[in-house]
Amino acid sequence: MLYEQDPSTSLPAVHVVPRGGHTLPSLPYPFCALEPYISRNQLEIHYTKHHAAYVEGLNRAELATVRNWARAQDLAFNGSGHILHSIYWANMSPWGGGQPGGMVAEQINASFGSLDEFRSQFTAAAESARGSGWAILVWQPQWGRLEILTAGRHENLTQWGSIPILVLDVWEHAYYIDYQNRRPDYIRAWWNVVNWADVEYRMRCAMAARVPM
């Protein structure tokens, strides 16, 4: 788990990270745990090299002088990269796959009509994301339902206020060792490791958010 739970509310405790103090979250499973869908080598490089670089870039940007013209762009790019990767690891599990439980299924049905429809829309979003990006299932507290977005890089094409609950990294660095240029094969394999329990927990937390229009 990447969060500590507050037993009085069942919501995660507020976790304050000091400026420049971000660290790589611990992986909830060993590097080989998602095989054969994601190989040990693929996962280890992704986590120890790529995610680590966003954490370093975020810390550097936070500590940089505000006169540094690139600082704001670095905060957006590396901050979003750190957040999305942290969710991506937690969204997967060696015991994942299958169908989501009642609450997630209910919200997916309400927002997309059916699980199959959601799955095909999310898959299409992931396949069609141009270049480096993400497919992201968000809870949008402004209108109380789920939406599928794609992010360009980590930070473009977002919708302010939306809360990511299920994310799929479709940068080439996420799948190239295992699948080369076959992104659709990676996406198909990834459904087998989706940790629906984590998705449900994130959905419960997101649904507790209140944002005035």
Residues forming the site for Mn ion (CB under 5 A): 50, 169, 171, 174
Question: Among 117, 171, 173, which residue's Cα sits nearest to residue 146?
Answer: 117
Given the complex with Mn ion, which of 169 and 198 has the nearer CB atom? 169
CB of 24 to Mn ion, least distance (A): 13
What are the backbone dihedrals phi and psi of residue 161, each rounded to the nearest 5 degrees, phi first? Answer: 90, -15
Given the complex with Mn ion, which of 169 and 200 has the nearer CB atom? 169
CB of 173 to Mn ion, least distance (A): 5
Given the complex with Mn ion, which of 108 and 167 has the nearer CB atom? 167
Given the complex with Mn ion, which of 80 and 111 has the nearer CB atom? 80
Nearest residue (beta carbon) to Mn ion? 169
Q: Residue written as tokens 């507790």?
A: 208
Tokens of 95: 């015991």
| Cβ 7 vs Cβ 163: under 8 Å | no
What are the backbone dihedrals phi and psi of residue 80, each rounded to the nearest 5 degrees, phi first? Answer: -65, -40
- Neighbour count for residue 53 (Cβ, 10 Å): 13
As a whole number of angstroms, the distance between CA 192 and CA 90 comes to 14
CB of 188 to Mn ion, least distance (A): 18
Q: Residue written as tokens 């809870």?
A: 139
Pure H helices in the chain: 40-45, 52-63, 71-90, 102-112, 115-128, 176-179, 183-190, 196-207
CB of 38 to Mn ion, least distance (A): 12
CB of 85 to Mn ion, least distance (A): 6
As a whole number of angstroms, the distance between CA 130 and CA 60 comes to 28
Tokens of 104: 């997630």
Given the complex with Mn ion, which of 174 and 194 has the nearer CB atom? 174
CB of 77 to Mn ion, least distance (A): 12
